[in-house]
Amino acid sequence: MKITVVGTGYVGLVSGACLAEMGNDVLCLDLDPEKIRILKEGGIPIHEPGLDQVVARNVAAGRLHFTTNVQEAVQFGTIQFIAVGTPPDEDGSADLQYVLSAARNIGRYMTDYKVIVDKSTVPVGTADKVNAAVRAELETRGEDIPYSVVSNPEFLKEGAAVEDFMRPDRIVVGAEDDRAIFMMKALYAPFQRNHEKLLIMDLRSAELTKYAANAMLATRISFMNELALLAESLGADIELVRQGIGSDPRIGYHFLYAGCGYGGSCFPKDVKALIRTGSEEGHPLRVLNAVEEANDAQKLVLVNKVVAHFGEDLSGHHFALWGLAFKPNTDDMREAPSRVIIAELFRRGATVTAYDPVAMDETRRIFGDDPRLRYAERPLQALDEADALLIVTEWKEFRSPDFEVIRSKLKFPIIFDGRNIFDPVLPRAAGLTYLSIGRP
């Protein structure tokens, strides 16, 4: 099939590369010439494990192409994926300007039948707006060209996006005409040879499914974080509680880890957008409002522990920080807890030396040349002159450190672990004070 993907962010680039991997002819469009330059020169503008190999392999095979030419992109693919950003607006609603701009461009330049697929995470009713935008452009041209609008939300985890796309656990397709359904089934047939994974539903149900999924996962995280704070007060161990409730098959173990809050491009934005949708419909989502409130508070829990030890005024104190990205295996700093933690340490007068395997360049872009923030080339180097260590992202390389060396380097032998990555016995045996989330 000939496929156009509008947008080369996480969703667009991963989708385009993986569709090309299955033998499709894919053209990726982005209006950012710098992104397209990087891709044409063999680079990858985002960090996603394994993506560089898939892109390089399919570019070399002649199945994956990149352009900034809108007309070329529209006329290339029978299937047109819209995979552009939907950032939160000032009122928390999803900003659809890029989605609708892409839809208008398709209507402006299409010359034959198109299946227009909303891959971006969009509010319920967006398919209607995309349909209206395309129809308006066709009417302006005096054309009556057939097309279909489909909702096909993505369920990709950053850091495992290639694997998720190539081996999906479900493929949600919202479509309401047989021709579009036939084409989407044909497109995804190679991804479900083992068993049927395609869930066909109406457009609005498909749009709501994406938001509902992310909101449920965010709810589990905030629930466990709230429970972790209670466990600390009660002298219970949230890790043992997690095992106890996770063993119930009705609950399961996924997304039950206590920590210093969720971040990234999806959960915060989607929770806000769903709350806004509920408000507009006269159905306030009280649980999700609490989820968001709990997450905002959780991002300060680690700093609160630091303040409890060193006092409200942290002037003159210097801290090592391991982990900047909102989660491992990505350089994504959007809504990352580290941003809140660093800003609060600065506000209280402290300075920081940070280490992250891939997110330091992005952090430099965000914080600029702030002299209060330095960067280390290695985890242990970050401990030089530090009073204590804060762990914010659970990268694998942090999981088995030399605790004796950590103790010898820190001015005060304290680890504040925001991700509960250590068995408390190990750092304490090395003489370290070890403070984690929800454990005695």
Active site residues: 266
E strands within 350-423?
A: 351-355, 373-375, 388-391, 414-417
| Nearest-angstrom CA–CA distance, 23 and 26 | 9
Angle, in degrees to the nearest 10, between helices 267-280 and 203-234: 110
Place of tokens 């806004």: 276
Q: Which two tokens stand for residue 50?
A: 């394994």
Query: DSSP assignment, residue 41?
Result: T
CA atoms within 13 A on the CB side of 312: 0
E strands within 86-197?
A: 114-118, 147-151, 171-174
In what order do the strands lie in the sheet containing 198-201? 64-67, 25-29, 2-6, 79-82, 114-118, 147-151, 171-174, 198-201
Q: Which two tokens stand for residue 222?
A: 């905030």
Per-residue exposure over 190-223, b if at least 16 CB sit within 10 Å of its own CB, e if not? ebeeeeeebeebebbebbbbbbebbbebbbbbbb
